[in-house]
Amino acid sequence: MPVQLTNLQQATLQAVVNRLIPVDEYPNAWDAGVGEYLARHFEGDLKHLVEAYANGLDALEQEAKARYGNGFGELTAPQQDAFLQDVEQGAVVTVWPIAPGKFFRLLVEHTMQGYYGAPLNGGNRDAVSWQMTGFESRR
Amino acid sequence: MQQYDAIIVGAGAAGGIVAGVLAEAGWHVLLLERGPSLRFEDVPRDDIRSQRLSLYGHNAGPEIEGNPRVVVEPNGNERVVRPHEGGYHNNAACVGGGTRVYGAQAWRFMPQDFQMASLYGVPEGSSLADWPITYEDLKPYYERAERELGVAGQNDTLWGETAPDAAYPMPPVVPGPQTQALKRGAQQLGWRTFAAPLLINTVPYGGRAACIACKWCVGYACPTDAKNGTHNTLIPLALATGHCQMVTGAMTERIETDARGKVCGVSYFVEENGSARHESARAKVVIVSSGAIESARLLLNSHSAQHPHGLGNESDQVGRHLQGHYYPGASGLTEENVYNGVGPGVTCATNQFNHGNSGIIGGGMLCDDFIKPPIDFWYTSLPPDLPRWGAANKQYMRENYTRLLHVKGPVQEIPSPHGRVTIDPQVRDKWGIPVVRLSGTTHQATVATSEFMRHRAEEWLRASGCYKVWSQPRGIGLSGGQHQAGTCRMGHDPQTSVTDQCGRVHAHDNLFVIDGSLHVTNGGFNPVLTIMALAFRSAEHIAKNFN
């Protein structure tokens, strides 16, 4: 795990990416290795964004508390999805240190890179998304 | 100081061929390449760091640090960009150049492509012009490139060929389910289609194995060496003669001229154990084959007392008319499975709209696309109304990766003298050499042609059974990229061109530019086979006339 993020930030991150790619017959983002993908890139090409991630995750948690009285992880899945749509649109009620829409786009892109990209980058465990899509023949 | 018959700057599509031809003719050749020689295992199948999707870097160079360029936006804003970032217009920097990792489409330009100004007139503000040579002049060299490197294709693309023995050396790629769908659609529209010609071994050829139809073609190195570039054909041939010396990691600083202004050699840096060694070499002939952007940079950086504005730049033509290709296309969803996982994936093309389009200058080829890794698909193949995340997005990826048809193609660009390469007055690369400054745009008429082709792409997909079709218009901008061309155009008149019809720089008898820089216009096709044909033609001329 990225050493720079606190336990709470990591827990929020995990909960968020699992709504960006939720579980169905195929695993959610975290179980498919998106956490590992991010951890590797936080020490490499995304090093310059670790602080933005920490700030954005804190703001997201604070926004959830302001609106629902609960942390993001304690919301129901439909609440989480509706909340994330608002974050995506920049419709927030608290003060964010990073533009919420911009932070959300980063989260989405990096999550997709970890889920659909080549396993050599740490994500896409057992090439699971390549079988899901049919890029590789389904086992 | 080392003395050679010829020094070639750049071991890419053109430089590799020139090295092969001259070394075979007995010339002592120094071939300088800024990048390394890459083995298959040196080019990772990293789908977010390839020449196709370059989010964080590249797998075939140049190094992302130490090689900046300056981009001037149409609104006047300036940015310093790294090689994998937007606006840089990168091409691979390694032995073989772009051919090391390309998709290898092997199109001949059509006869009309050499006579664009005569056919269409010159739009106001453009620098559209005829080539000083015709298709017939280049045809024997197209044939030579197809034979010596190896092209697989269907003979319909050998324009107007009537000779009974005219044929590609290898049969075309086999059709897939996407081919059947697209052929049906084209038939309904009355369009002719054929297999795209490829510099890929469909059968063993040239001592190399056949394609094993893996999914990692464009942007990657071939596992069976079945993709034919200069790195596995003409360059090994040159080295085998024993009189071509190739130096990798060698960055040419300038072309040297003597006290009278005559070209006499080059100076270059070689990286060794982390430090730079400065070297010089002399030659009878210097040949610049660094790609349209870097070739212009080298000529401009080689200014001297006799040539204060750079070599070959007396008429302020070096670096102008930079062009590449707009790439209009469309995506569509089908009910049927149109994916069989057999690479490279390019199987079905039409040249129905390369010329003869009412009210449009030129046109372009359309073709199905290479197989895309899923992350590339996520970036490029989502309908505009689909959420970018969540259950619906995942469901789309899962259901439609194998049901999407994508056709696209390069549009013949209408060049502008304002789309150009100059030298930035401040920024330097890691060697201390002044870097390229890119500015201007293509000509507005290019946008009209591109829009016309985008609608043809949509039309094709609808006729092919797609129930949902979408595409994105593109606004005006500078074009270049992997198809970069035009910055040292050939011509008869030194006022409006940089070289003669063999690539010899006007006012110099021993300095040549041989690469895409020479292209007066860039066709509505992938340009590499034309770059190769011109290289064979110019190299043959040099070998005959300088001994």
Task: Quote the crossing angle between the two packed helices B528-545 and B13-24, to the nearest 10°.
Answer: 30
Determine, for residues B397 and A132 on separate chains, whether the beta-carbon distance falls below 8 Å.
yes
Count the domains in chain A. 1
Q: Has this prediction a pTM greater than 0.95?
A: yes
B residues 337..376 contacting A (CB < 8 A): 339, 341, 373-375
Is B157:B351 a contact under the CB 8 Å cutoff? Answer: yes
Q: Which of B55, B373, B388 sits opposite A108 (nearest CB)?
A: B388
Is B159:B113 a contact under the CB 8 Å cutoff? Answer: no
Q: Please report whether residue A28 resides in a domain.
A: yes
Determine, for residues A116 and B402 on separate chains, whether the beta-carbon distance falls below 8 Å.
no
Summarised one tens digit per residue, pLDDT across range B486-522 is 999 999 999 999 999 999 999 999 999 999 999 999 9
Q: Which of A21, A121, A133 sits opposite B48 (nearest CB)?
A: A121
Q: Which residues share a beta bridge with B269? A: B251, B278
Count of CB contacts below 8 A, A vs B?
73
Host H or E run for residue B434: strand B434-439
For residue B365, pLDDT over 60 is answered with yes
Q: Structure tokens of B94? A: 């390694």
- Structural domain including B404 reads 2-44+91-545
Q: Chain A: nearest CA to B393, how far in angstroms?
A: 8
Tell me how far apart the alpha carbons of residues B254 and B456 are, in angstroms, rounded to a whole number: 46
For residue A137, pLDDT over 90 is answered with no
Q: Please report whether residue A113 resides in a domain.
A: yes
- Strand bridging mode B468-470 / B404-408: unpaired
Q: Which residue of B has its CA nearest to A16?
A: B390
Q: Which residue of B has its CA nearest to A127?
A: B374
Q: Please report whether residue B50 resides in a domain.
A: no
Could you identify the residue written with the tokens 């995990």? A14
Could you identify the residue written with the tokens 């690369």? B429
CA dihedral B183, B351, B456, B380 (to 10 degrees): 80
- Strand bridging mode B2-9 / B329-333: unpaired
B47, HSE (Cβ side, Cα atoms, 13 Å): 25
Tell me how far apart the alpha carbons of residues B482 and B52 are, in angstroms, rounded to a whole number: 10
Could you identify the residue written with the tokens 């043809």? B456
| CB-CB neighbors (< 8 A) of B56 in chain A | 45
For residue B141, pLDDT over 50 is answered with yes
Summarised one tens digit per residue, pLDDT across range B327-353 is 999 999 999 999 999 999 999 999 999
| CB-CB neighbors (< 8 A) of A113 in chain B | 48, 55, 375
Cα-to-chain-centroid distance, residue B239: 24
Tell me which amino acid residue B250 is: A
Q: Which residues share a beta bridge with B271? A: B276
Higher pLDDT pick, B525 / B164:
B525
| CB-CB neighbors (< 8 A) of A38 in chain B | none
Determine, for residues A121 and B46 on separate chains, whether the beta-carbon distance falls below 8 Å.
yes
Determine, for residues A136 and B390 on separate chains, whether the beta-carbon distance falls below 8 Å.
no
Count the domains in chain B. 1
Is residue B452 classed as helix, strand or coil in its secondary structure? helix
For residue A2, pLDDT over 50 is answered with no
Q: Please report whether residue A55 resides in a domain.
A: yes
pLDDT confidence bin for A64, thresholds 50/70/90: very high
Is B287:B15 a contact under the CB 8 Å cutoff? Answer: yes
Determine, for residues B391 and A22 on separate chains, whether the beta-carbon distance falls below 8 Å.
yes
| CB-CB neighbors (< 8 A) of A117 in chain B | 47-48, 373-375
Is B499:B470 a contact under the CB 8 Å cutoff? Answer: no
Q: How far is CA B148 from CA B17, B20, B143, B183, B529, in A?
A: 10, 11, 9, 31, 12
Average pLDDT over every residue of A69-73: 97
Q: Is B270 on the interface with A (CB under 8 A)?
A: no
Tell me how far apart the alpha carbons of residues A92 and B58 are, in angstroms, rounded to a whole number: 37
Q: Is B48 on the interface with A (CB under 8 A)?
A: yes
Q: Structure tokens of B545? A: 């006339």
For residue B105, pLDDT over 50 is answered with yes
- Strand bridging mode B275-288 / B2-9: parallel
Determine, for residues B374 and A135 on separate chains, whether the beta-carbon distance falls below 8 Å.
yes
Q: Please report whether residue B74 resides in a domain.
A: no
| CB-CB neighbors (< 8 A) of A112 in chain B | 375, 378, 389
CA dihedral A65, A71, A75, A77 (to 10 degrees): 120
CA-wise closest residue to B267 among B92, B7, B78: B7
Among the residues of B241-357, which ranges form H helices? 292-301
Q: Which residues share a beta bridge with B329? A: B408
Q: Please report whether residue B72 resides in a domain.
A: no
pLDDT of residue B162: 63
Q: Chain A: nearest CA to B90, how far in angstroms?
A: 19
pLDDT confidence bin for A138, thresholds 50/70/90: low
Q: Is B393 on the interface with A (CB under 8 A)?
A: yes
Q: Please report whether residue A137 resides in a domain.
A: no
Q: Please report whether residue B76 resides in a domain.
A: no
| CB-CB neighbors (< 8 A) of A123 in chain B | none
- Strand bridging mode B244-248 / B404-408: unpaired
Could you identify the residue written with the tokens 């193949």? B381
Summarised one tens digit per residue, pLDDT across range B282-327 is 999 999 999 999 999 999 999 999 999 999 999 999 999 999 999 9
Is B445:B357 a contact under the CB 8 Å cutoff? Answer: no
Determine, for residues B398 and A108 on separate chains, whether the beta-carbon distance falls below 8 Å.
no
| CB-CB neighbors (< 8 A) of A45 in chain B | 56-57
Q: How far is CA A94 from CA A22, A65, A90, A97, in A?
A: 27, 10, 11, 10
Summarised one tens digit per residue, pLDDT across range B153-211 is 998 778 877 666 678 999 999 999 999 999 999 999 999 999 999 999 999 999 999 99
| CB-CB neighbors (< 8 A) of A132 in chain B | 397-398
pLDDT of residue B197: 96
pLDDT confidence bin for A4, thresholds 50/70/90: confident
Average pLDDT, chain B: 96
Percent of chain B with pLDDT over 70: 99
| Residue-by-residue DSSP string for B134-184 | -HHHHHHHHHHHIIIII-B--GGGSTT---TT---SBPPPPP-HHHHHHHH
Q: How many CB atoms lie within 10 A of CB B233?
A: 24
| CB-CB neighbors (< 8 A) of A21 in chain B | 389, 393-394
For residue B63, count CB atoms less than 10 angstroms from its CB and return exposed for 0-12, middle for 13-18, buried for 19 or more.
middle
pLDDT of residue B210: 98
Tell me how far apart the alpha carbons of residues B546 and B18 are, in angstroms, rounded to a whole number: 14
Q: Please report whether residue B256 resides in a domain.
A: yes
Q: Which of A81, A129, A136 sits opposite B390 (nearest CB)?
A: A81
CATH number where B421 lies: 3.50.50.60
Q: Please report whether residue B503 resides in a domain.
A: yes
Could you identify the residue written with the tokens 């310093």? B80
pLDDT of residue A1: 42
- Structural domain including A91 reads 7-132
Tell me how far apart the alpha carbons of residues B209 and B190 are, in angstroms, rounded to a whole number: 37
Summarised one tens digit per residue, pLDDT across range B264-274 is 999 999 988 88
Q: Please report whether residue B451 resides in a domain.
A: yes
Summarised one tens digit per residue, pLDDT across range B373-397 is 999 999 999 999 999 999 999 999 9
pLDDT of residue B74: 87
Q: How far is CA B5 from CA B33, B258, B271, B521, in A?
A: 17, 17, 24, 31
Q: Please report whether residue A56 resides in a domain.
A: yes
Q: How far is CA B153 from CA A8, B170, B199, B234, B493, in A?
A: 59, 7, 9, 21, 37
Is B314:B45 a contact under the CB 8 Å cutoff? Answer: no
